[in-house]
């Protein structure tokens, strides 16, 4: 029994490393093997979903995040990742509900606040989006994408001088950030 747990840990770690290297197919194989050993591990289902997302297999990724949540509905990362996929699929209300659930579990993840802001922006709820971007920036003031997103919201609110300051800050933080009127998350 213990060797099975050790194998799952090793496969989890290896798969996670492969994801970080952008080798999603190989990571997926690791997670499939780990699930053969332990199909009740929420974190493995979450990472399998992330690997599938990296491969552009969105529906399959959603199914994995749903399985991770079914096993452990307190898995904030699974709620967040499900929200990201739904956001990409433009299923905004569902994405927003997932981000809210992730925040309810753990409100200290700047990425969740940023992506909630992106969903709200796309829903044209600019004031609410601005509050999310501000919250994300309090946690991570060095995230150029959030500065850009905040700038885009400020443009929509007609606050152009403030928007320019945000775009300039985004460029200070990361000279390679794309500063345009396309708001983006993740």
Q: Render each residue's pLDDT in the chain as its tens digit; 186 residues.
A: 457 889 999 999 999 999 999 999 999 999 999 999 999 999 999 999 999 999 999 999 999 999 999 999 999 999 999 999 999 999 999 999 999 999 999 999 999 999 999 999 999 999 999 999 999 999 999 999 999 999 999 999 999 999 999 999 999 999 998 876 555 554
Do 49 and 70 sit in the same domain of this protein? yes
Do 93 and 112 sit in the same domain of this protein? no
Do 84 and 137 sit in the same domain of this protein? no
- Residues of the domain holding 82: 1-104
Domain count for the chain, please give it.
2
Do 76 and 20 sit in the same domain of this protein? yes
Do 9 and 87 sit in the same domain of this protein? yes
Q: pTM for the full model? A: 0.93
Residues 105, 23: Cα–Cα separation, whole Å: 30
Residue 60 Cα to chain centre, angstroms? 16
CATH number reported for the structural domain that contains residue 166 in this entry: 1.25.40.10
Phi, psi of 150 (to 5 degrees): -60, -40
Say whether 75 sits in a helix, a strand or coil. coil
């Amino acid at each position: 029994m213990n060797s099975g747990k050790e194998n799952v840990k090793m496969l989890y770690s290896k798969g996670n490393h492969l994801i970080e290297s952008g080798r999603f197919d190989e990571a997926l194989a690791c997670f499939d093997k780990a699930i053969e050993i332990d199909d009740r591990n929420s974190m493995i289902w979450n990472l399998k979903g992330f690997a599938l997302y990296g491969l552009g297999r969105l529906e399959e990724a959603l199914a994995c995040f749903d399985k991770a949540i079914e096993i452990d509905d307190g898995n904030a990362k699974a709620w967040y990742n499900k929200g990201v996929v739904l956001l990409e699929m433009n299923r905004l209300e569902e994405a927003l509900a997932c981000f809210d659930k992730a925040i309810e579990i753990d409100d200290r993840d700047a990425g969740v606040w940023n992506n909630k802001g992106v969903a709200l922006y796309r829903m044209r709820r600019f004031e609410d989006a601005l509050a999310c971007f501000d919250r994300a920036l309090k946690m991570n003031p060095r995230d150029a994408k959030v500065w850009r997103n905040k700038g885009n919201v400020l443009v929509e609110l007609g606050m152009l001088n403030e928007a320019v300051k945000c775009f300039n800050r985004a460029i200070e933080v990361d000279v390679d950030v794309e500063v345009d009127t396309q708001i983006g998350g993740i």
